[in-house]
Structure 1
Amino acid sequence: MRILFIASNRIGDAVLSTGILGGLMERYPGAEFWVACGPLAVDVFRHAPGVSRIIVMRKEKRAGHWRKLLKAVAFRRFEAVVDLRGSATPWATFARKRHILKPDHTLHRVEHNAGVVGMVPPPAPRVWPGEEMRARARVTIPDGMKVLAIGPTAAWRHKMWPVERFAELARRLLAPGAPLDGAHLLVTGGPGEEEKCRPVLEVAPPERRIDLIGAGIDETAAAFERIALYVGNDSGLMHLAAAAGAPTIGLFGPTADAIYSPWGPKSVTVRVPRTLDEIRQQEGENFLSSGRNFMEDLAVDTVFDAAAALLAKTKANDQNGGHDAAPAKQRSQEG
């Protein structure tokens, strides 16, 4: 039995789709999964059990990447095709069942994806970093080591909280008597983002720094399985941390947290004082053209308080063996 799973080009959307991929593996035990995705998302799926082939879709002119996908699946029979890109490809394949994503700008992406294949409640995203990377992570972050992870970058500059505020947040969380007193500091970001991340990394002394800037998705995911807290912008790395089960705080401003908040019982959304709708109503639909960084409206105090509360809650839940049922959301205060 063979299943074709057409996933996103983007890391964040790919991570958010891992829940239903895992659910499909349970629905079709023993099936062979083919995953089609963009090159950035390959490591999200590389070590997933049951995935026997990954078809890399590098964008080409005149939809050439779609033609290559069709060529790769031609003359193959599939039990089901799940298309999270909403394309016409499923109709050109030999498939017994077709599940195609249709636009919906009201549901969280995890719920939206799950609805495509009729999974209620929606299965949570997950990570498959592979045993080699998990072994490496156990060396980097041994049992008992407390680690604060910070993701100060994003693919879009309008999503980025000022790096100096991330540095101040890390300084306060790691200070003597603070919630993560004595912890190591892990900083993560994409290839080529070293200089953007350096002010945060330098908050900790060299012996307490873990530099994963530019590391692969699988290595980063394995490390995230072992951290005490992740704080970052709305980004693929934020979703990766939440999927790895890390206590995660996602920072939002001029983007839709209702759709893209981090998903999971240990996840919290902290946004600027205004909702996205309020920003649009008060600043106009072209508010991004003003050049203003709306993320500057989010105070360090607000994020610090959210981090302290999440750490306390996580500690209490771990001691009691309890788990929350849904992700939490918090609206920031002025400051």
Structure 2
Amino acid sequence: MAQLFIGPTRLGDAILVSGVLAWMRDDAPDSPITIACGPQAALAFSGWQGVEAMHVVHKRPHHRHWLDLWQKTRNRRWRRIVDLRRSALPWLLRADARYRIPPGLPGEHRVIQAARTLGLPPQMPRIDLSAAQRAHARRDLPDGAPALAIGPGASQIFKTWPVERFAAVADRLLSTGGPLAGGRLVLLGSDAERRDAAALLNLVPADRLVDGFGLDIPASAALLERSALFIGNDSAMMHLAVAAGARTVGLFGPTRDDHYGPWGPQGLVVRTPESVDALQARLAAVGGGGSLMASLTVDAVSDAVLRRWPDLSAGAHPA
């Protein structure tokens, strides 16, 4: 019998809970998985092994999207249904076992919350990559000089660090005397984010630049897998770096790093001097028209990186 995984709507949330999906596959390799999730979240599961079907859930008025999904899933009995959306659907379908994500606890990371659905220890975010995708990334990032990956974008402008400061940190790390001296610069994000990234696009010569703006999720992950370090805002790209096994620096201000910080032993949070609550109060007062990350300095980020990884060495971080 197959398994049904009802996943999130947003891309970043899907990557955060991907470890649970990987556990389901590994725990029952003879039970193919059907995924139901939002259109953005579906990008995170593109090409996954062991997935027999993907139902992309488009929200409809009066919750009719759940009726649509019920129509697609009602004609079989499921071995296991794991619902990370807290819907009623699992109890409207035939199943041997049903699991629904519990409410989050104060200060609980979303990786921990998702794992508690099945009574598991925290599951590292995962990404499936093919040999062809890895080979393509190897052509862009051949063995030798190390690579620094930067993700300057985010879903909301108020949690983006100024791109000029990303460029200043990258310059310190990649220039002569820096720990990644002579290395390549990998830029990742959406096509729209390239428009505001001139300070980064012009930082290194063309033969040391990998312009990854606009790449799909697997292609971005394959580059991250071969990068020595990733630095980015609180974003889906930050979570993808974790899933790819890269050393990951997440920059935080008005969002909660205890809930969404880069998970695992290779993650590092660097946040503004102001608390989340103080910045959220300012956001409520002035609206979301600009960045709330201005108090985070270049020195704070570069010093935190070098304190955490004083031996940040040449070459790609092993996946």
The TM tier, using the shorter chain, reads over 0.9
Partner of 2:104: 104
SS in structure 2 opposite 1:66? Answer: helix
Aligned residues of 1:47 and 1:129 also touching (Cα < 8 A):
yes
SS in structure 1 opposite 2:191? Answer: coil
Structure 2 CA distance for partners of 1:287 and 1:97, relative to 1, 3 Å: farther
Name stretches of at least 5 consecutive residues in structure 1 with no aligned partner: 322-335
- Cα deviation, 1:93-147, whole Å, max 9, x if unaligned, reads 1111111113315210000000011102x12111112222111111111122311
- Cα deviation, 1:27-61, whole Å, max 9, x if unaligned, reads 22321100111222223212222111111112233
- Cα deviation, 1:267-324, whole Å, max 9, x if unaligned, reads 10110012213545xx4682453856320010000101122233325559x99x9xxx
1:65 Cα deviation from its structure 2 partner: 2.5
CA RMSD of aligned residues (A): 2.1
Structure 2 CA distance for partners of 1:86 and 1:313, relative to 1, 3 Å: farther
Aligned residues of 1:44 and 1:128 also touching (Cα < 8 A):
no
SS in structure 1 opposite 2:29? Answer: coil
Distance in 2, Cα, partners of 1:266 & 1:100 = 29
Amino acid at match of 1:273: P
Distance in 2, Cα, partners of 1:31 & 1:172 = 49
Aligned residues of 2:159 and 2:293 also touching (Cα < 8 A):
yes
Partner of 1:189: 189
Distance in 1, Cα, partners of 2:104 & 2:204 = 43
SS in structure 2 opposite 1:148? Answer: strand
Structure 2 CA distance for partners of 1:206 and 1:265, relative to 1, 3 Å: same
Within 5 Å, give how 1:281-296 maps onto structure 2: 283=281, 286-287=284-285, 289=287, 293-296=291-294
Amino acid at match of 2:64: G
Distance in 2, Cα, partners of 1:7 & 1:207 = 40
Partner of 2:302: 304
Name stretches of at least 5 consecutive residues in structure 2 with no aligned partner: none
Within 5 Å, give how 1:144-223 maps onto structure 2: 144-223=144-223
Partner of 2:229: 229
Partner of 2:7: 7
Distance in 2, Cα, partners of 1:288 & 1:303 = 26
Distance in 1, Cα, partners of 2:2 & 2:71 = 16
Within 5 Å, give how 1:1-335 maps onto structure 2: 1-106=1-106, 107-120=108-121, 122-279=122-279, 283=281, 286-287=284-285, 289=287, 293-312=291-310, 315=313
Aligned residues of 2:7 and 2:85 also touching (Cα < 8 A):
yes
Structure 2 CA distance for partners of 1:157 and 1:174, relative to 1, 3 Å: same
Structure 2 CA distance for partners of 1:191 and 1:57, relative to 1, 3 Å: farther
- Cα deviation, 1:209-240, whole Å, max 9, x if unaligned, reads 10110100010011111001100000000000
Distance in 1, Cα, partners of 2:41 & 2:219 = 14
Q: Select the structure with the greater relative contact order (CA < 8 A; seq sep ≥ 6).
A: 2
Aligned residues of 2:4 and 2:35 also touching (Cα < 8 A):
yes
Amino acid at match of 2:115: A
Structure 2 CA distance for partners of 1:64 and 1:199, relative to 1, 3 Å: farther
Aligned residues of 1:147 and 1:227 also touching (Cα < 8 A):
yes
Structure 2 CA distance for partners of 1:288 and 1:82, relative to 1, 3 Å: farther
* TM-score, length of structure 1 as denominator length: 0.89
Structure 2 CA distance for partners of 1:15 and 1:68, relative to 1, 3 Å: same
Aligned residues of 1:159 and 1:254 also touching (Cα < 8 A):
yes
Amino acid at match of 1:228: A
Distance in 2, Cα, partners of 1:213 & 1:62 = 37
Identity across aligned pairs (percent)? Answer: 41
